[in-house]
Each structure stands twice: as structure tokens, then as C-alpha cells.
Amino acid sequence: MLSIVDTHVHFWNRKHPELRWDWLAPEAVHPILGDIDGIKSEVFDARHVWAEARFAGVTHFVHVQAAIGSPDPVTETVWLTGMAARHGGIPAAIVGHADLGLDGARAQLERHLESPLFKGVRDFAAEPALAAGELPAGYERSLRFLADHDLVFDLDCEHPNMAAAGALAARHPNLRIVLEHFGYPRRRDPDYFAAWRAALTDLAKHPNVVCKISGLAMTDPLFSRDSLRPWAEHCLESFGAGRCVVGSNWPVDRLFSSYDSIMDCYRDYVSTLSEDEQRAVLSGNALDVYRLAP
């Protein structure tokens, strides 16, 4: 069984005195998924993800920012760094939050960098700015800082905004951009698929963009292995085996499946590739993108 680097997990502990996870509040309704009460536990951390993933051949976990609503995003990085020290290197890397458009973004990023596990940023403000047609000058400076420090920019971007994302990639050719959840499709009908397919193909023309095949189940709750296959295969066709990584989106995707089933799907989708290409998609590319030790 080929090993996997899981590039997308979320941890929380709602007892933490400084951090907040507003999207997990009892009254919160997810803006896209709706009812996610099935994952609203008090705590989900390294112990819990390993309990579910320990038979799936996973060697590393990358945590992507989740403490939405916290007054200081660096607190999440500090908390996760301590967790990794206590729990055998889980997570192995941290993609944190930073307010890239604010005047204090550089100072925030420098504080994140005090953790050796900090590897990049996800900022939910990026896509609205892309949709508006122009990123502020301060945002562009923050992106240059990321590139200069070999930090990854994990980008949530639906297909209507992928052209703007491509223009951003062209302006920052040294910035490693990871497209989250393969563009986070909102529907699975043929017309939507055709529009997504065309936009993804164009975005893949930019060599500094990597496609994260993750969150496959979120908008197809009653998915089958075959219903998700065309989406995964087009990611592989467009970006090639050298620019795709995989992630579980755990525990969010537990609403729709089990951990092992998701990982089995990924291994199935790459099974027609050469063994070296399979290793690249499942682990090698992620080791490079997030600068992880094998």
C-alpha cells in the first residue's frame, strides 16, 4: 500500500481559553453544507485523527487553519506546534491564517514563522478580492513576502474566479499556490462540470499552481467511487502527476464517508499511473510543497 501525505485536516479544542471556532458553535449553520452537527465534538485533535487514520497508510498530516473567529491567528499556530511536540509530529505542517490585506500582515507572518511547522497561509478574504477584480497593493506585498519565504498560499477559489487566480499566479511566478478542494465545486450537474472543467484546465497552465484533490464528498453526500472519478481524473489530466496532492478534509468529510474509504478512492483514481507517478500524487508532491521530511 503506497503511503499518503494528508494535506488537509482540521483540529480544535473548544475549551481553549483564547481560540474560537465559530463555525462549530452549537447554533452555527455551515454556509454551504448546512447542518454539520455530526462533527461538532468538543475536541478533535491529533489523537482522534490518528485513531481513524492509523490503518490508512498515512505518514504526515497538514493542518489547515480552522480557528475562525479567534482574535489572534498566531495563537492557533502556537497551539498546534505544542500539539505536534506532544503527539509524535501530528500535525507535521501548519497552514495558518493571516490577514494578508492588513497593514500588520508582515508582522503577523513573522510571528507565525517562529514555529518551524508553519508552511503557508489560507486567507478566506482572497477569493472575494479576486471576484472584485483587484487585490489591494498591501495584499500583493504580502504575497511577495510568502514567495520570498518559501511559504505556500492555499487558495479557496471557485471556478468563476479561476481566471483571476491565474492572473495572480502570473504576477507572482515564484509563489507556490495550492488550489484548495479542487475548486470546491458547489454542484455536480453536467453544465457545472463543463464550466469547472474548462476553468481548471486554464488555471493548470500556470506552473506554480498545484491542485489539492480533497473535500471530494462535500457537495456530493451520497457519492460513489465512480461519481467522483471524473472530477479527480480531470485534476490529474490538467495538472499532471507532478502537480497534484491529496487531502482528507477530516473530520468534515466524515459526515459523508469513512477515512479509509476516502483514501481507497484516491489510490484507485491514481492506479492507472506509473508507480512513480502514484507516489508523487499520494505523497511526494506534498513532501515538496509543504517542505516535509520523508
**What pLDDT does 222 receive?**
85
Write out the three cell numbers for 53.
487514520
Alpha helices in 178-217 (DSSP H): 190-203
Distance, in Å, from the CA atom of 218 to the CA atom of 184, rounded to the nearest integer, reads 8
pLDDT tens profile 55-106: 999 999 999 999 999 999 999 999 999 999 999 999 999 999 999 999 999 9
Q: Which CATH superfamily is domain 4-289 in?
A: Metal-dependent hydrolases (3.20.20.140)
Residue keyed to cell 463543463? 194
Q: Using one digit for the tens of pLDDT, what is the confidence trace for 232-264?
A: 999 999 999 999 999 999 999 999 999 999 999
Tens of pLDDT, residues 156-196: 999 999 999 999 999 999 999 999 999 999 888 999 999 99
Q: What pLDDT, on the 0 to 100 scale, is given for residue 21?
A: 98
Instruction: Please check whether residue 94 is in contact with residue 77, taking contact to mean a CB–CB distance below 8 angstroms.
Output: yes
What torsion, rounded to 10 degrees, do the Cα atoms 129, 80, 18, 105 define? -30
Residue pLDDT, tens place only, 14-56: 999 999 999 999 999 998 899 999 999 999 999 999 999 999 9
116-144 pLDDT, tens digit per residue, is: 999 999 999 999 999 998 889 999 999 99
User: 154 pairs with which residues across the strands?
Assistant: 122, 178
Question: What's the mean pLDDT when you consider all of the chain?
Answer: 96
CA 265 from chain center: how many Å? 18
Q: Quick one: which of 197, 164, 163, 166 has its CA closest to 182?
A: 197
Per-residue model confidence as pLDDT tens digits over 217-235: 887 888 899 999 999 999 9
The answer to whether 185 and 219 have CB atoms below 8 angstroms apart is yes
Secondary structure class of 262 (helix, strand, coil): helix
pTM over 0.75: yes
Q: What are phi and psi of 91, to 5 degrees?
A: -80, 160
Structure confidence at residue 280 (pLDDT): 98
Chain-centroid distance, C-alpha 241: 18
Residues composing the chain: 294
Q: What are phi and psi of 236, to 5 degrees?
A: -65, -40
